[in-house]
Amino acid sequence: MTKAGILGMGRSLGDQVVTNLDFEQRLDTTDEWIRTRTGIEERRIASEQIDSSHMAFEAAKEALQQADTSPEELDLIIVATVTPDMAFPSVSAIIQEQLGASNAAAMDISAACAGFIYGIVTAQQFIENGAYKKILVVGVEKLSKITDMNDRNTAVLFGDGAGAAVLGPVSDDKGILAFELGADGTGGMHIHLQDEFLYMNGREVFKFAVRQMGESALGVIEKAGLTKEDVDFLVPHQANIRIMEASRERLDLPPEKMATTVKKYGNTSASSIPVAMVEELNNGKIKDGDVLVLVGFGAGLVWGAVALRWGR
Ligand code: COA
């Protein structure tokens, strides 16, 4: 059977740096509260004229280059987002045109902060059953356009960005080893879009995330026929350092074996996992042959995890 893996990745972040001190000036909050409760020090917010498709396009171009893949080789583009430029056309169709990916089908999927995981698992199915060879998966979010910047409960948490991966066939010992996806719609009210803004019951989401991230990570390791000791690097959804630490501790991993970009970029939703992966690839922390566990959760409520062996 063909194995599907990641051939190359790219990313793009909001162009403006907004620090905790900036929030201190205009909201009833402090740098100390934000840092200690979330681990966030600053985030990137995209200017008004930059929409999700702009960031998705930039990340996709970089991923294609890293994957030595031309846009014409793409069979499918999947964009995971809850903040598309508009309801339709989809972000995937917009960037299909911009990239010149004339042979690619295009669809957006909505799985909030777990969207990138849902995207790569979807791509894996098409590649492993032989229907498609090369698939671009982008997680992109411009959460700033649905965040009430006067609400201290949510304004300080989020950032804008895009992360992209080109998936294709890899050698038998590399690529995606196992996945786990799940949903619990009964928790839907805990994060939802009401009128124009995102509403969140932080405490409930926190409890769910701590429990689910650990369980999903351990579940996917078992499905891959591995043990905790086999894991080289954990890439959790970058929502809150305390949730991430709880997942890391469930896997008995030392701090240096977990991606942490939440400090610089905040929670960038569907883009947080691929953005963190690009950062850690650039830092030399993800190496050929490493066993990675990616794990995310988000509005829905939904969750997903993937175990993969890095490399082609
Ligand atoms: N500055 C100062 N105080 C703030 C604040 C801010 N930016 N945001 C909230 N607070 C206050 C609240 O008003 C509340 O005050 P009250 O108790 O007087 O009502 C209090 O802090 C909340 O305290 P607590 O519930 O103990 O905070 P917490 O440790 O749970 O942290 C979150 C709050 C939101 C950071 C945390 O719950 C969280 O990260 N939840 C998960 C959110 C998430 O991941 N969402 C994305 C899903 S993909």
State both tokens at 111. Answer: 């799985």
pTM of the model: 0.97
Could you tell me if 120 and 99 lie in one domain?
Answer: yes
Could you tell me if 282 and 181 lie in one domain?
Answer: yes
Q: Which of 170, 189, 220 is the last residue of a domain?
A: 170
Could you tell me if 104 and 69 lie in one domain?
Answer: yes
The predicted model gives 12-28 an average pLDDT of 97
Q: Residue 91's pLDDT is what? A: 98
Domain that holds residue 83: 3-170
Coil, helix or strand at residue 192: strand
> From ligand 1's centre to the CA of 181, what distance in Å?
27
Could you tell me if 91 and 138 lie in one domain?
Answer: yes
Q: Which of 170, 195, 223 is the last residue of a domain?
A: 170
Q: Residue 1's pLDDT is what? A: 84
Tell the residue nearest (CA) to atom 48 of ligand 1.
298
Catalytic annotation, residues: 113, 237, 267
Could you tell me if 219 and 139 lie in one domain?
Answer: no
> From ligand 1's centre to the CA of 100, what distance in Å?
44
Q: Residue 206's pLDDT is what? A: 97
Could you tell me if 15 and 159 lie in one domain?
Answer: yes
Could you tell me if 277 and 144 lie in one domain?
Answer: no
Tell the residue nearest (CA) to atom 15 of ligand 1.
153
Residues 6+ apart with CB under 8 A from 44: 13, 14, 15, 16, 17, 18, 159, 160, 161, 265, 266, 268
CA 46, 51, 52, 57 dihedral sign is negative
Could you tell me if 10 and 28 lie in one domain?
Answer: yes
Could you tell me if 144 and 182 lie in one domain?
Answer: no
pLDDT surpasses 90 at 30? yes
Q: Which of 121, 137, 170 is the last residue of a domain?
A: 170
Confidence of residue 110 (pLDDT cuts 50, 70, 90): very high
| Spatial distance between the Cα atoms of 84 and 140, rounded to a whole number of angstroms | 8
Phi-psi region of 211 (alpha: psi -120 to 50; beta: other; left: phi over 0): alpha
In ligand 1, the atom with minimum distance to the C-alpha of 34 is 7
In ligand 1, the atom with minimum distance to the C-alpha of 298 is 48
Residues 6+ apart with CB under 8 A from 195: none
> From ligand 1's centre to the CA of 35, what distance in Å?
12
What pLDDT digit, counting tens, does each position of 53-88 carry? 999 999 999 999 999 999 999 999 999 999 999 999
Could you tell me if 182 and 242 lie in one domain?
Answer: yes
Confidence of residue 5 (pLDDT cuts 50, 70, 90): very high
What pLDDT digit, counting tens, does each position of 128-182 carry? 999 999 999 999 999 999 999 999 999 999 999 999 999 999 999 999 999 999 9
Could you tell me if 165 and 187 lie in one domain?
Answer: no
Contact 14, 161 (CB under 8 A): yes
Whole-number percent of the chain with pLDDT over 90: 100
Domain count, the chain: 2
Could you tell me if 153 and 12 lie in one domain?
Answer: yes
Q: Domain of 82: which CATH number?
A: 3.40.47.10
